[in-house]
Amino acid sequence: MTRNGTGGAKAAGSAGRFLGVRVVAAASVAAVLGLGVYWTLRLGYADRLFHIGSSATVERARRLAPGNAAYFAIDSTDQPALRQAVANNPRFSSGWIELGILAEAAGNLADAERFLLEAASVDRTYQPRWSLANFYFRRGQREKFWPWARQAAEMAYYSQTPLFRLYWRVTQDPSVILTRGIPDRPNILAQYLHFLLTENKLAEAEQAGQKLLATSTRESLPVLTLFCDRLIGAGRVTSALHAWNTLCARGLVPYRVLEPEQGRSITNGDFAAAPLGAAFDWRLYPAQGVTATRAASPAGLRLTLSGRQPERCALLEQILPVEPGLAYRLTYSSQASGIPAASGLRWYVGDLATGRELSTAPVGGAGDAWREETLGFVAPADVGGVRLVLEYRRAPGTTRIEGTLWLRQIFTSLEPESPKAAR
């Protein structure tokens, strides 16, 4: 009986201690939860007071939440409040930046630099680096400008036009800008190339374009085809061809490289890929009453004219790189339905520089059979490209045509009598 009584007492004591621990633990949890609720309500109330915006409510918000630096920095000209803000939260980079701007305006350049450097040390994002680059630009300290400007560019994921404009205010040397200010990242290089094209700095864009081509991804394709277009428009067809062939060689466009010196000047001649509408690929021109449909098997392009199209309109165009002075032959297969041979539908080859007509050939004919046709032309002696256009011009005395034209297997070759082919 004694032993059993002692054992029961021990068990009761253990149970009591366990219950006591649970009570203490529950009380602790309740206290923590209560404290959390208290601070949530307190900070929420402080935020509400702050947004009321009166002097009294802002001051009460500051007392309730002294660690919220933003409550002390509502006036960017209130230096004591800004100092209090960064004292309460040394990682409040916006406060350091504002203090730097105020110090610079007051002529305290050493303090201004110190404040801005402090902002950059506590905040590894874009704004402090942009602020330091601008500070050193205003001070004319170029050697200090470039490292901070480049750091800003390295972490930028949106438009950097303001930064690029700042570069061109620092120097007019495109090599210096490209070397010291532009990171070797395709997205930043693409932004910079687009900026140069927008600013009509085509000569300066060539170096940036070549650098982007070496590291480009499919995301860079729109700006690189625009780059090709601008080069073509300026008559710099050789440079445009080099860029285009780089895109082909790297697999960023699904085409073989062009070799005009060997007679290969047509891109996507079988219409196996959807035309890009840029650079050396086909351009399809939308016109009222005209529809274009690409077929996959067999590959080809169908053009349907409803009879309501304009009396004169371009339907299809491609810029062909050529070797000056060489004679070329364009070969194409077509199938016409409802389009007579002399209906006004024709191929036109024109000088890229002057628009002068080099050669034409009518398209169409009776029957539904596929027909292979050829068109010869001699490349101009002073330009590296021609325009190949399929156009419609209503023939005098006829009504506007209504029918369908299929095209496939379009390619170029050198004429046998061409000097290059004769070698």
Q: Which of 154, 144, 105, 151 is nearest to 128 (CA)?
A: 151
- Res 89: pLDDT: 87
> Which residues contact residue 272 at a Cβ distance below 8 angstroms, ignoring those fewer than 6 apart?
254, 296, 299
This prediction's pTM: 0.78
- CA atoms of 257 and 264, how far apart (whole Å): 9
- Res 423: pLDDT: 47
- CA atoms of 213 and 253, how far apart (whole Å): 12
**Is 60 exceeded by the pLDDT of residue 8?**
no
3-state SS track over 365-387: CCCCCCEEEEEEEECCCCCCEEE
- Angle ∠(277,281,282) on CA atoms, nearest 5: 60
pLDDT digits (tens, 9 = 90+) for 223-253: 999 999 999 999 999 999 999 999 999 999 9
In sequence order, which ranges of 171-201 are alpha helices (DSSP H)? 174-181, 186-198
Where is pLDDT greater, at 128 or 7? 128
pLDDT digits (tens, 9 = 90+) for 354-377: 889 999 999 887 667 888 999 999
**Is 90 exceeded by the pLDDT of residue 194?**
yes
What is the rounded average pLDDT for all residues in the chain?
Answer: 85
Region of residue 397 (phi > 0: left; psi between -120 and 50: alpha; otherwise: beta)? left
Query: Sign of the C-alpha dihedral, residues 171, 174, 177, 182?
Result: positive
| Domain boundaries 283-416, CATH class | mainly beta
- CA atoms of 74 and 92, how far apart (whole Å): 13
Q: Which strand (E) or helix (H) includes residue 44?
A: helix 2-52
Name the band, by pLDDT with cuts 50, 70 and 90, for residue 62. Answer: low
Name the band, by pLDDT with cuts 50, 70 and 90, for residue 1. Answer: very low
- Res 40: pLDDT: 58
> Which residues contact residue 350 at a Cβ distance below 8 angstroms, ignoring those fewer than 6 apart?
356, 357, 358, 386, 387, 389
pLDDT digits (tens, 9 = 90+) for 155-180: 866 789 999 999 999 999 999 999 99
Q: How many CB atoms lie within 10 A of CB 281?
A: 19
